C-alpha cells in the first residue's frame, strides 16, 4: 500500500472494519465513518494499550508502596534533620534515611505517581472516548514515569536552592505541599517543561537562534501595524463618506420642512 493510499484509508470506530474513501457509513455495522485520516484503534493498538496499562499499574503500586515506607512519621524528623530506620514490609530489609534523603525519595516517588495517573487518564480517554489509541505512543507511556521522576527531582533542587520560594528551610518545609507539587509536575510534565524553559531563559539567557527569532518579530509587527493603519484609514474614509451622506440627507429634509 502506498503512502497516498494509507492517507485515504479509514476504519470504523465501532467495529474496526476498513471503509473505502468517499463512504460515510460502515457497511458492516452501520456506524458513522470517522473523518478521513483519523486513526482508529486496531487490534495491535489494543495489545499495546494492555501492555502499557499493566506496566503502569505495576509501577504505580510499587512506587506507592515505597512512598508510604519512606514517608516521615512526623514533621519533627524533618525539623531536627534526624536519621530514621526504614523497613520494607513484609521483608526484614531495613536501612537508614536522613531527612534530606527522605525528601528526595518523596519527591521522586510523588512525581512517578503523578505521571502514572496521567497515563491512566490518557489510555482510558483514547481507548474509550476518542477510540484513537495508537501503538506508536508506546515509548511515551513507558518513559513517562521516568520523565515525571526527573522533573520532580529538578523542581526539588530548585526549591531547596531557593530559586523557587516555597520554603527552602527544612523546619518550615511543608512535606505535603512539596509532594503535591511533585505529583503535579509528574502529571503535567509538558507544562512543567515550559516553566523550566522560561526559567532557563531568565537565568541563562536565550539561545542565539531564539534571539534571531525575536529580532525578526518587530519587522513582522511593523508590517502588521502598517496594514492595520491602512485598514483604519480606509474605515475612517468610509465613516466620513457615510457621515457626509447622512448630513446631506438631513439638510435636504430640513429644507423640505422649511418649504
Q: What is the pLDDT of residue 180?
A: 92
Facing residues of 86 across strands?
A: 95
Please state the domain extents for the chain: 1-39, 41-204
Q: Is the pTM of this model over 0.75?
A: no
Provide the angle, in degrees to the nearest 10, between the axes of the packed helices 189-204 and 175-187. 100
Q: What is the mean pLDDT of residues 199-227?
A: 57
pLDDT of residue 253 exceeding 80: no
- Whether 49 has a pLDDT exceeding 80, the answer reads yes
**What integer is the mean pLDDT of 32-58?**
84
Distance CA 43, CA 31 (A): 18
Q: Region 9-26: what's the mean pLDDT?
A: 59
> What's the pLDDT at 226?
43
pLDDT in tens, 88-130: 777 777 878 787 888 889 999 999 999 999 999 999 999 988 8
Give how far Cα 230 sits from Cα of 111, 220, 236, 250, Å: 53, 15, 10, 30
Amino acid at each position: 500500500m502506498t503512502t497516498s493510499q494509507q492517507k485515504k484509508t479509514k476504519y470504523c470506530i465501532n467495529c474496526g472494519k476498513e471503509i473505502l474513501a468517499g463512504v460515510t457509513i460502515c457497511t458492516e455495522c452501520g456506524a458513522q465513518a470517522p473523518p478521513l485520516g483519523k486513526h482508529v484503534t486496531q487490534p495491535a493498538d489494543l495489545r499495546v494499550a494492555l501492555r502499557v496499562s499493566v506496566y503502569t499499574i505495576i509501577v504505580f503500586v510499587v512506587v506507592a508502596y515505597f512512598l508510604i515506607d519512606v514517608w516521615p512519621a512526623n514533621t519533627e524528623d524533618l525539623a531536627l534533620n534526624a536519621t530514621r530506620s526504614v523497613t520494607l514490609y513484609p521483608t526484614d530489609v531495613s536501612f537508614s534515611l536522613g531527612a534530606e534523603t527522605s525528601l528526595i525519595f518523596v519527591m521522586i516517588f510523588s512525581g512517578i505517581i503523578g505521571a502514572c495517573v496521567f497515563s491512566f487518564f490518557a489510555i482510558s480517554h483514547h481507548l474509550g472516548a476518542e477510540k484513537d489509541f495508537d501503538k506508536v505512543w508506546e515509548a511515551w507511556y513507558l518513559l513517562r514515569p521516568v520523565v515525571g521522576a526527573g522533573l520532580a527531582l529538578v523542581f526539588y533542587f530548585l526549591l531547596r536552592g531557593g530559586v523557587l520560594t516555597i520554603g527552602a528551610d527544612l523546619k518550615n518545609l511543608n512535606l505535603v505541599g512539596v509532594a503535591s507539587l511533585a505529583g503535579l509536575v509528574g502529571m503535567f510534565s509538558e507544562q512543567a517543561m515550559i516553566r523550566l524553559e522560561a526559567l532557563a531563559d531568565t537565568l541563562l539567557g536565550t539561545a542565539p537562534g531564539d534571539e534571531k527569532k525575536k529580532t525578526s518579530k518587530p519587522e513582522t509587527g511593523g508590517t502588521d501595524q502598517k496594514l492595520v493603519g491602512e485598514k483604519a484609514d480606509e474605515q475612517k474614509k468610509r465613516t466620513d463618506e457615510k457621515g457626509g451622506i447622512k448630513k446631506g440627507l438631513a439638510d435636504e429634509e430640513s429644507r423640505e420642512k422649511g418649504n
